[in-house]
Chain A
Amino acid sequence: MASSPPASLPPLDVTRAPEGGEVGAIQSGWRLALREFMRNRLAVTGVGILLFFIIFCFLGPFLYHANLLQVDLINAKDPPGAGHPLGTDVNGFDVLGQLMKGGQAALEIGFFAAFVAITIGSLVGAVAGLAGGIVDTVLMRITDVFLSVPFLFVVLILAVRYGASVLSLSLVIGGFSWPVPARLVRGEVLTIRERDFVLAARTAGSGNGRLIFRHLLPNALGVMIVNVTFQVADAILAVSYVGFLGFGLHYPNIDWGDMLSDGTGYLTDGYWWLIWPVLTCIVLTVMSLNFIGDALRDSLDVRLRRR
């Protein structure tokens, strides 16, 4: 998919001699990457879907007011129709309104968990890569430990013990998914730190902190951006697992997994609107993020560009 570049792409004008002395604008790496990204139709679709869900979940509730608090058993399990475009659930809550509210939680947790993961991960990776030696060994073994513990199990245990909220789920999921970015960033730093500009910065008197934040991490930004996208997708999946198993957010808060957990009990009863709309939302959101991540990897990774 992403590894098959669109055939219609014209070659970059690096070898073509400018006609009549005209000189093309020198494009920065980021602008080239953006151009490459925008040419990828799937990526643009992904951005479109993601924007749609962000607007739908965060602005939708301002336009569409629904009952999400008052249990209303007379109007429970109503099929889609007037007043309730997507029907009502077991408690008489409006499904469309819940989709918006549940999406807010899913997206918030997704982005916040990814932020936590990339922050811890890039710091650990940069320090390990720059320091080398015993620091590197110790940090990488700790990374291995976190990578080997099946993190869904720990997330579930903590969610059961301490209760799930947007904040706690984000922290726990982020706190267990940093090993992958840590390894990636370390790998990048190991090559970047041998470059001349790092030596120059050192000679000019930069300390380790300045080296990491001004020279190493900015140059590893491509890898980090790509990874963050996948982290968001994975975190949204993880939350949906926790919710689906019934250990997710508590009333009146709700996430997409919770809704499914309520709905699957009625699978054989034909209440399709309790299951399929929310399932579609989860899959589309995760898929759009994967589209974006793949395209970003193709456009930011110079080695893959124009292949």
Chain B
Amino acid sequence: MTAYLLRRIGTSIIVLIGISIFVYLLLHAIYPSPARAVLGLKANNAQIAAWNKQNGFDRPVIVQYLSYMNGLLHGNLGYSYADNQTVASLFAERLARSVYLSFMSLFLAIVIALPLGIFQAVKRNSLGDNIATSAAFVLYSMPVFALGLILIQVFAISFPLLGFEASQSTSIWTVMGDWRDMLLPILTLTLISVALFSRYMRSSSIDVLAQDYIKVARAKGLPERLVLMRHMVRNASLPLVTLIGLSLPFLLAGNLITEYLFNYQGLGLLFYNSLGKEDYPVLLAYTLIGAVFVVVGNLVADIALTVADPRIRLA
């Protein structure tokens, strides 16, 4: 098991290095220096060259990459010239809000999808199963904003029960307390993830129900409730761990769209605003951190799976 974990961690580190080189080079190629943005349109070439020299943008790409990475590892994510602020402080202002939105909806999605998938597998092809499967299919084919717009139309405009804009407070505690404004964005992300997860949960539960150990458990006279609770739930939820790891890029994208749609001042909206301003230091840092998050998330999922499933440990 140790060998497997070490190999898995080693692979992740190699992939992380690959990602950092790839993303850095890509953004460097399309935007080598922020000199023009800082000095303005009237700056002449000599001034730009001087600024580049002063700020180290005339060094070879590999040196710039290494110094950027060095900064990144020390918590220096670069400087946003458009906002005149370090990227790290821009992120720090918004991090808590994005984490709240993403984790709340991920948590809710798991809490809903897990029992739903099991229920669908147990009551296979019943009316309830068919309704849930169809709903999941429609939601799964829907862009995130489509669901968000429908929810806004129904719950904020037709029946004005909830706010159509997310909470605008800068304090995370106020945001958390402002459930009327936060319900729709959280619900949007939750439902999209439920559609994704419950499909897999259903099929993995069906697979587990066909296993011999379920038959044994039933044959020895265990009540159905215990068969499900003790023998099925854990085994059926294992694939979900991997699935959550794999769906992280999708969740990040969903986060971006939802924050834009509900005008929620999180990291996704920061990325969107930086796109408009062509503020590449922010775009670079966020894309890079997003990719690191995905790799680490998948690694954690794999490790969790190894702990939960002895069959992998032995392999």
Contacts and interface: CB of A to CB of B under 8 A. Distances in A.
Given A3-B203, A157-B30, A161-B31, A141 B15 contact: yes
Chain A interface SS verdict (over half):
helix
Interface in A215-272: 233, 237, 240-241, 244-245, 247, 260, 264, 267-268
Contacts of B53: none
A145 interface: yes
B291 A158 contact: no
Contacts of A149: 19, 22-23, 249, 287, 290-291, 294
A53 to B, nearest CB: 13
B157 A144 contact: no
Interface stretch (B98-106, B136-144, B211-219, B224-232): B136-144
Contact of A141 (B18, B141, B206): B18
A241 B143 contact: yes
Contacts of A153: 252-253, 256, 271, 283, 286-287, 290
Interface stretch (B44-52, B54-62, B81-89, B145-153): B145-153
A15 interface: no
A241 B141 contact: no
A208 to B, nearest CB: 26
Contacts of B287: 149-150, 153-154, 157
Interface residues of A, number: 39
A1 B137 contact: yes
Interface residues of B, number: 53
B249 A150 contact: yes
B239 to A, nearest CB: 14
Contact of B138 (A148, A156, A233, A283): A283
Contact of B152 (A147, A162, A241, A267): A267
A228 B15 CA distance: 26
Contact of B275 (A1, A144, A157, A244): A157
Contact of B294 (A148, A245, A260, A282): A148
B241 to A, nearest CB: 17
Contacts of A152: 249, 252-253, 256
Contacts of A167: none
Given A145-B22, A149-B22, A241-B257, A283 B145 contact: no
Contacts of B252: 150, 152-153
Interchain residue pairs A-B with the least CB separation, the first 6: A287-B141, A145-B18, A152-B253, A286-B141, A150-B249, A150-B290
9 contacts: A148-B15, A148-B291, A152-B252, A152-B256, A153-B283, A161-B30, A244-B143, A283-B141, A290-B137
